[in-house]
Chain A
């Protein structure tokens, strides 16, 4: 059967075991401080280093590399565009292939690149070391609508199912003489007979599933309980408070420095 959508990597480190809310808090702090509170390049770089260390310790760094590779294209284009064309470019820095890159633009590009990497790595830390079900359950416990939580959880399995169903629909239409291979026009013509059944059966299935949920007490009044409850460990609390303290200190530092 189709595998559930998930980027989670299993490993026996404290990072995987950490409360998802702490990781969410980390993302918040990693964005607020370098972007807003203390917008210096070295602050952003510090968070990048911190995220990388955490990713390495959690043994998931290998999975980040393709992600970095993809973002590399974006980063390069930022450097080129800002380096060449940013308004306010005055001081020439480098000359490559007859194109002049300016210092102001390059520095600004550096700031942007640091920010992009900072956010990317902080999110990667969350996504690669947290089970989706744990994350969603944490959110629901803290007030996210259980309905919304269900939609998110089920999407992770329903979407791959839908994709594998496209295969059977393709088989059914090919059996009726629909050519699916060939030039672009042939393949485009084949698209419509495939989409209809996919959408219709998804809608029908969703409806049946909605009924099945109702008869499992989905809309029952009263507080929902959880089969697997995590209690906050000491580490969770320590890290949570550390992050909050760091946030407060950074705000204080801003008033002092600026």
Chain B
């Protein structure tokens, strides 16, 4: 049984204006990036996965449970969703309390919740700010607090909505390491993002949405090699991929390390031959 199954799902907010059309895919543990223009249906899809919305046709199964037969709050034990705007979520005046809110809601005891909250804060490197008011922190730190609030619930599925917005290089590096750690622990990490370099660096699989339809679904390398399809969705491959194309490399390179390794070996080959 797949962790997530999306079966021919369609959705519209107002009649006659479809936002998602016949989308089908399934996910298991690992890392998946859902990319697409604004208005492509990404946010709606994520809300459907979280049972905040129910499909108009088709079904979504989370761990075998049909989302039509449950509520978002009940699914909170399995699916954690970090919203794009931390201000939409934060309401406690101590960071620690905020991060403990989720675990307490899903039935953990005070001690468990506290322990999980502290572990989560360690993962985002904010444990020394646990007694502070979240609104005294910078926007990017608040973003990390909202991520910690979901990590503390230790859900099997973690969805990150635009995690790299307003983050600088260090913040992005932190988020990349969080994604890696979660995948290593066997979780399913889904992200919606515009940041192609972020996707190239840490996501194994990429799903491309355009105008409500699933355009591409496959390993990152494969998806990013299809430049024409991406352009039609108003997207571009990561910069490294663009660079590797100009060198005539067959296929697609996704990170600085990959490119450097490829280039060095290509140079060595050339030198050996001449």
Contact = CB atoms under 8 A, between A and B. Distances in A.
Interface stretch (B23-31, B86-94, B206-214): B86-94
A200 interface: yes
B73 A197 contact: no
Contacts of B77: 177
B254 interface: no
Interface stretch (A37-45, A60-68, A89-97, A166-174): A166-174
B36 interface: no
A175 interface: yes
A176 B102 contact: yes
A179 B91 contact: no
A204 interface: yes
A193 B102 CA distance: 12
With a 10 A CB-CB cut-off, give which of B47, B73, B79, B90 has the most chain A CB atoms.
B73
B50 interface: yes
Contact of B87 (A175, A177, A194, A200): A200
B126 interface: no
A177 to B, nearest CB: 3
Contact of B101 (A171, A174, A176, A181): A176
A175 B72 contact: yes
A196 interface: yes
Interface in B91-146: 91-92, 101-102, 105-106, 135
B243 interface: no
A201 B89 contact: no
Contacts of B135: 200
B91 A196 contact: yes
Interface string A158-186: 00000001001101111111111100000
B91 A192 contact: yes
Contacts of B72: 171, 174-175
Given A168-B83, A200-B135, A174 B73 contact: yes
A171 B85 CA distance: 12
A204 B91 contact: no
Interface residues of A, number: 23
Contacts of B149: 176
A176 B88 contact: no
A171 B83 CA distance: 9
A175 B83 contact: yes
B76 A176 contact: yes
Contacts of B76: 174-177
Contacts of B73: 174-175, 177-180
Interface in A183-214: 192-197, 200-201, 204
B38 to A, nearest CB: 14
Contacts of A169: 88-89
A179 B74 CA distance: 8
B52 A176 contact: no
B20 interface: no
A177 B47 contact: no
Nearest to A166: B88
B22 interface: no
Contacts of B92: 196
Contacts of A175: 50, 52, 72-73, 76, 79-81, 83
Contact of B88 (A172, A178, A179, A180): A172
Contacts of A193: 91, 101
Given A169-B88, A197-B89, A176 B153 contact: yes
B66 interface: no
A164 B20 CA distance: 22
A197 B47 contact: no
Contacts of A172: 83, 88-89
9 contacts: A171-B52, A171-B72, A175-B50, A175-B52, A175-B79, A177-B77, A177-B106, A195-B91, A196-B91
What 7 A-B pairs are tightest by C-beta distance, nearest first?
Answer: A196-B91, A177-B105, A177-B76, A174-B72, A172-B89, A176-B102, A201-B87
Interface of B: 47, 50, 52, 71-73, 76-77, 79-81, 83, 85, 87-92, 101-102, 105-106, 135, 149-150, 153
Given A193-B101, A196-B90, 8 more contacts: A168-B83, A171-B83, A175-B81, A176-B150, A177-B102, A177-B106, A196-B92, A197-B88
